[in-house]
Structure formats: structure tokens, C-alpha cells
Structure 1
Amino acid sequence: MVLPETRGPKGSHRRNLSQHSFEAWLGDGPAATAANGSSSHSPDRLHMVEKSGQLNKTKIAEGGRKLRKCWASSWLVLAGNSLMFYKDPKVAAAWTPSSSRPESSVDLRGARIDWARDLSSKRNVIHFRTVTGNEYLLQSDSETVSQEWYQAIKGVIRRLDEENPLDEPLLYPLSRSNSADLVDLSAEEEEEQFGLPRGDTQPAPSSPDRAYKKRVKSKLRRFIAKRPPLRSLQEKGLIRDQVFGCRLEALCQREGGTVPRFVQQCVEAVEQRGLDVDGIYRVSGNLAIIQKLRFIVDRERAVTSDGRYVFPEQRCQEDKLHLDDPQWDDVHVLTGALKLFFRELPEPLLPYSLFDDFVAAVKLSDPKDKVSKLTGLIQSLPQPNRDTLHYLLEHLRKVMAHSDTNRMTTQNIGIVFGPTLLRHERDAASLVEGMVYQNQVVELLLTEFSSIFTAPTTE
């Protein structure tokens, strides 16, 4: 077993395989040796740079648990058994085995690589996963550059598999990357597996107790390897995601509708409290109370189990959430929770892939062309997105009708909900440039609501 990612040296009472090999590769320590005392890698191979250059990078999973995508430009160096990431291009360009330490590095032994077809709206995206469930996406606008990196990384992985193959139970395909179904070997077992001595002492002779432990570990690995994948458990309804941060399509499918129940509950409660509250949706509510409401929504709908949410068979949890309770009297808490729900969607209500199309639509000079273009884009949305957007805009138009008292004009609502409903996938300077267009999209959807939604869906 190996450490997949390194962020600088850490003190330890025992050195495992990945520490030996990484330090040897950097030139800071002795090379890891096999059982017969010979070096497991040639010095030329350890110190040779296979490839280096700039790519866009994001980490999408850690230990099998999903992470939100956050694309950033990074300078990569592929050498030895590692892929290293640098922020400073000068450091990466002047790389030598002992010159500097990377921002982070990934051990490619036992990794799996493929093209990301459904994980990003970007083109030419490479998807690879380490043996411990860390997943990365690498991307370049140039198809040639992405192809070269794909072949280079794939070649290193293939070579490492041939030189030092891992146990079969650790080799999981990328299609099972949503499940945390990897087993970490202990440091002792790493040393036994690769024939490495522990510290400066020779391996202890076999004993009945040691043999028993090895049998137990082997059985546990086989047992966990036979567990059903997360996808099948989700399809059977045994494991489901929480409400905040859940994909809109999955949440609606789970609830049997096209508009999330929590959205409906918040909207109904806000309209009951009164739409003439000054600064509604613009004034921030008490963050602590908003987070408390969020926790109750997720917690009541599930029982925490091993870091995930397991739902009971009876779907009666919704009845436990009463937004007419005095603790939710502040309408700004409800509006803050509703905005938080939309901000935490893994993909915004108006998907990443349509961001440029929506911006292009509002840039058109002819008002009729704008409405026509937006109508086509709205009709192309998945039904949960389209129906939820229709429901929300219908509510916001009611808010606008009270603008004389609440001061929430079309422009103010656009400023509040533009970045919430429509945002660029990559946090870069282009996002700042497109902010004014995000607001204009929401404003146009509100003012031309009846024309764009010519056949409103019925709830």
C-alpha cells in the first residue's frame, strides 16, 4: 500500500514504503530495497522527467468521498512513480530530484486512468484515481496536449503495475469511484508485502498469532471487496444523499416530484409571513439559525451511518419540519436557507454547460431575439431544473409586486439571485467579467416570465 499524496515530510516512528521511495526519489534518503537487497527502481528511472507542463486541475474525491470541483491552473511534473503539482512555473521548470518539494504529489502505483465523459462539461478532461480513492480531473483546451498527458500518465501506470503489482482486491475500476470501498493496509503489512525490513531490524519469524492476524486481514479484504457498490445501494433506496448539496435530479427523483419539498416549504412560509418585509432576500439572516435549520432538514431525513445518510423505509420525516415554529419567525432566516440550498447544489439551477449560451442571449441587441433565445434554453433544461426555476421565478415575481414596501425591484433581485442560479464552472477572472450578465439573465427571466414560460408546468 502506498501514500497517494504527499504534502511535505511528517515525523513518524516507523517509515513505510512510500516514505522510503519518495525520499529516495527526492535524493533525501536511501532507496527502497527489495528482499534480496537490490534496488526496486533504477536511479535513471527515478530521476527522469517523463513529462512536464501546465494543465487545469481539480480534485473531485478524497478517500472515495466526493468533493466540489474547484478548477485551478497548475504546473505538473511527471517523474518516477509520482505526478507532482506546483503553483510556481519557475520551480516546476527548474525541477531536479532534490531541488524543491511540490505543493502536492500523487503516487501513481495502482492508479486507474480514463477519459472523463460525464464528470465535467469541459472538453479533453482526463480522470484518474489512486488506490486510496483520491480522484483528480486534468484538462487542457488543446486536444493534442490532453492526449499527450493521457498517454504519458497511462504509460507510467502500466510500467509501475508491471514492476510492482498490487494485490487484486485493491484494483477497483473507475466506475465504482463513488463508493469508499478501498481497504488500507497497515504499515506492517506494507513492509511484509514488499519484503521491506521494519526500521533497522530483520523481519520477525512467523508465529501462530501473526498468521492468524494475516488471515483475518485477508478475509476482511475479501469481504469488503464483495460489498455491493454504492450505485446499487442508491438504486435500491438504501443509501441516499442529504438534501443540501444533493444533485437536484436525484433529490426530485427520491421525493417523487420535480420541485424539491424544502423549496416549496420555504416559499410557502415566506409568502405566509408577508412579502412586504423590507430587504427580503437582500438582508442576511442569522447564520447560526440558518445552519441550525439546515442541520435539522438533513438530520431529520436521515440517520448518520459511517459518514453517509441512510434513510428509513417510511417517508414521514417531512412532517417533522414545521417552519411555522417560533424559532423560524425571522423571514430572513427562511430566505437565507433557501438561497443556501441553491448555492450548494453541485451544479447550479442553470447548468454550467449553458452558462455561455445564457450570457450570449442577453448580449443580443434585439429584444425579441433575447426572449426567443432564452425560451429555447429554458425548454432545453432537465424537467426538475425547469420546473424548479418556474416555481422560484413565480415566487420572486410576487416579491417584486411588493417592491414599493420591500424595495426589492427587478434589478435588486437580479443582483441577489444572478450568481446563485447561474455561475461559471471555473472560479477565474471570467467569472467577475460575467457577473453583470448573470444579473441580466435573472432580470430578463422575471420581466419576460409570461413569454418565456408559455406553458407553465402544474405543480
Structure 2
Amino acid sequence: MLCSSNVWLDTVAVDSSSITSLVRRAALRENENHFNYEKAHNFKVQTFRGPHWCEYCANFMWGLIAQGVRCSDCGLNVHKQCSKYVPNDCQPDLKRIKKVYCCDLTTLVKAHNTQRPMVVDMCIREIEERGLNSEGLYRVSGFTEHIEDVKMSFDRDGDKADISADTYADINIITGALKLYFRELPIPVITYDAYPKFIEAAKITNPESRLEAINEALLLLPPAHYETLRYLMTHLKKVTTNEKDNFMNAENLGIVFGPTLMRPPDQNTLTTLNDMRYQKLIVQLLIENEDVLF
């Protein structure tokens, strides 16, 4: 009786985890048409010229300097005290987003009203059209100056950037530009908040328990980060199906993308070195189990 009770409890735990995952996926599917990702305001202290009223409480902003704060992404003006109560409903104004690289991921997708950063979509589309069989894909580096050219093109032209074979014949330039985008994110795809949970999961030796822990860690990611990671892993799984030509399996891709997608919150050199094998393992497992985890 005790044995069957334990089995029942285990089943409930697994079912609960599965249900949570299904709810998350359903919410993301709903977002596919609306891209209604939640985003906090990016408030900075502001000195206003002339009279200004708080857009939250509608009261006057008193003082000669630093009367309040302004969201640098959407332009909302409020008292500093009121900023603590403003909901996470920032709708970034595209005119205020000066660049694509080094821009917060959620801010970028909300500003452009896209499901994922356009850099990710455009680069992956180009790579899948003409690069899946390229030897050492993602491991071989393109010329740094050409990768910088692609970066400047995205920053200047957005989704009108030309990354076609006519402009950049070497596919390694496009893979380099994609990796650079991920490296320069102010908050990594696997966020600082979720990072410890992923590292803890990587240290678990039991394969099933480890996957369950990774699944729980994935649920901590903001929707835009989750969706970007899901899309990237689906792509990298395609890369591994061409391993006989490109010589890139999940482990090799884990070595490349581990430190690209994950960074420890404290940025300590020793921590980074110690965590590298776990970063590699997490990305490897995400690729190998892409159909189960996402």
C-alpha cells in the first residue's frame, strides 16, 4: 500500500510539472499573435524644464532639479516614489531604441512587436538556407571586421539589414554576428536570476531528475527569453542532424554556446571557469532534449 502511495505521489509530481509546462507553452502560443510580453520600465532620474505632472498620480512635480524619473524606453514621466507602484506595462517607443545590439531582449521585441529579436530570426533563416552543411558551423570564426559590419547594419537598418550571400558570402560571418548578439545582451538569454537553478540542475547525476530540474529552471525565464531560447535550440537541433557534414554535435555546440547564453551573476573569473563545464552540459542537454523540454 505504501509503495503504491509513493508511486501515486511521484505521478502527481510529474503530472504537476507537465501541466505547468503545458500552461507555459499555451501562454506562449497565445503570445505568438500579440507578443504581449510583460516589461518593467527603465526609469532614470530626470530634470524637467517647465511644469510637469506625474503620469501615475496626476500630481505636480515640485522642485528645480531631479523632480522625477522618466522611462528611457517609453518616455513615461512619474514621481520617483510613484515609480515603485507603476505596473510592468512598458511599451517601448521605437524612436527611443537607438540600437539593436546591446539592447535588452524584451525591450527590443516589444519595440519591434516581434516574437523574438529580428537578429535571431534573420540570421537563423540565412544559416538554415545556405549553411547547415558548412564544416565547423558556429565553431569557425568569420572575419571580425565583417561581423562588426553586420552588427552596424542591424543597428542602422533593423530588419532591413542585408545579410544575404551576395553581401556576405561566408556563412561564418552570419554565425559570428548571431553569437555576438547573444554575447552583448545586457541580460543573457538564460538570465542572471535563473542561472543558479540551471547550474544546480547540471550537477544532478540522475538523468531524469536532471531533466525535471532543467524544465523547472526554464519556467523561471521571462517569456521573450524562453521563446528565443526555444527557437535557438530547435535550430541547433537541425544543425546536429547534419553532423556528418558540419561535424557539429550537441556537445560541440554546447562548448560554443554555453558561455554565450549563460553568464554568472557575479562575473567572477574563478566562478566562470568553474561553471564552464556545467554551461556546456546545459546547452548540450537543451539541444538533445529539445522536443521534450520545449
Alignment counterpart, residue 121 of structure 2, candidates 264, 267, 286: 264
Report the counterpart of residue 329 of structure 1 in structure 2: 169
Alignment counterpart, residue 146 of structure 2, candidates 277, 289, 307: 289
By percentage of residues, which structure has more strand?
1
Unaligned runs of 5+ residues in structure 1 are 1-117, 119-173, 184-221, 302-317, 454-459
Residues 24-423 of structure 1 aligned to structure 2 (within 5 Å) = 176-177=44-45, 229-231=70-72, 232-233=74-75, 235=91, 237=93, 238-301=95-158, 318=159, 320-423=160-263
Whole-Å separation in 2 of the counterparts to 1:182 and 1:233: 12
Whole-Å separation in 2 of the counterparts to 1:176 and 1:253: 20
Structure number with the bigger relative contact order (C-alpha 8 A, sep ≥ 6) is 2
Whole-Å separation in 2 of the counterparts to 1:408 and 1:436: 18
Deviation at 1:328, TM superposition (A): 1.2
- State the TM-score, normalizing by the size of structure 1: 0.46
Deviation at 1:376, TM superposition (A): 1.4
Q: Report the CA distance shift for 1:176/1:331 in structure 2 as closer, same or farther (over 3 A).
A: same
Give a deviation string over 1:437-457, Cα, whole Å, max 9, x none.
00000011111111111xxxx
Q: Report the CA distance shift for 1:227/1:381 in structure 2 as closer, same or farther (over 3 A).
A: closer
- 1:350–1:385 CA contact under 8 A, matched in 2: yes
- 1:371–1:451 CA contact under 8 A, matched in 2: no
- 2:109–2:224 CA contact under 8 A, matched in 1: yes
By percentage of residues, which structure has more helix?
2
Structure 1 stretches of 4+ with a deviation exceeding 6 A read 224-228
Whole-Å separation in 1 of the counterparts to 2:153 and 2:98: 15
- 2:240–2:249 CA contact under 8 A, matched in 1: yes
Whole-Å separation in 2 of the counterparts to 1:261 and 1:269: 12
* SS state at 2:167 partner: helix
Q: Which moved more, 1:229-238 or 1:431-440?
A: 229-238
Q: Report the CA distance shift for 1:408/1:227 in structure 2 as closer, same or farther (over 3 A).
A: same
- 2:103–2:185 CA contact under 8 A, matched in 1: yes
- From the CA coordinates, give the structure whose radius of gyration is larger: 1
Q: Which amino acid aligns with 1:331?
A: I
Q: Which amino acid aligns with 1:244?
A: Y
The answer as to 2:290 corresponding to 1:449 is: yes
Report the counterpart of residue 438 of structure 1 in structure 2: 279
Deviation at 1:403, TM superposition (A): 0.9
- 1:243–1:297 CA contact under 8 A, matched in 2: yes
Q: Which amino acid aligns with 1:176?
A: K
- 1:419–1:435 CA contact under 8 A, matched in 2: yes
Q: Which amino acid aligns with 1:431?
A: T
Unaligned runs of 5+ residues in structure 2 are 1-39, 50-63, 77-90
Q: Percent identity?
A: 31
- 1:258–1:383 CA contact under 8 A, matched in 2: no
Deviation at 1:241, TM superposition (A): 4.0
Whole-Å separation in 1 of the counterparts to 2:190 and 2:67: 39
Q: Report the CA distance shift for 1:359/1:323 in structure 2 as closer, same or farther (over 3 A).
A: same
Deviation at 1:255, TM superposition (A): 1.5
- 1:280–1:335 CA contact under 8 A, matched in 2: yes
Whole-Å separation in 2 of the counterparts to 1:423 and 1:175: 25
- 2:191–2:262 CA contact under 8 A, matched in 1: yes
Give a deviation string over 1:37-74, Cα, whole Å, max 9, x none.
xxxxxxxxxxxxxxxxxxxxxxxxxxxxxxxxxxxxxx
* SS state at 1:176 partner: strand
- State the TM-score, normalizing by the size of structure 2: 0.70
Q: Report the CA distance shift for 1:331/1:236 in structure 2 as closer, same or farther (over 3 A).
A: closer
Whole-Å separation in 2 of the counterparts to 1:424 and 1:384: 20
Whole-Å separation in 1 of the counterparts to 2:107 and 2:293: 26
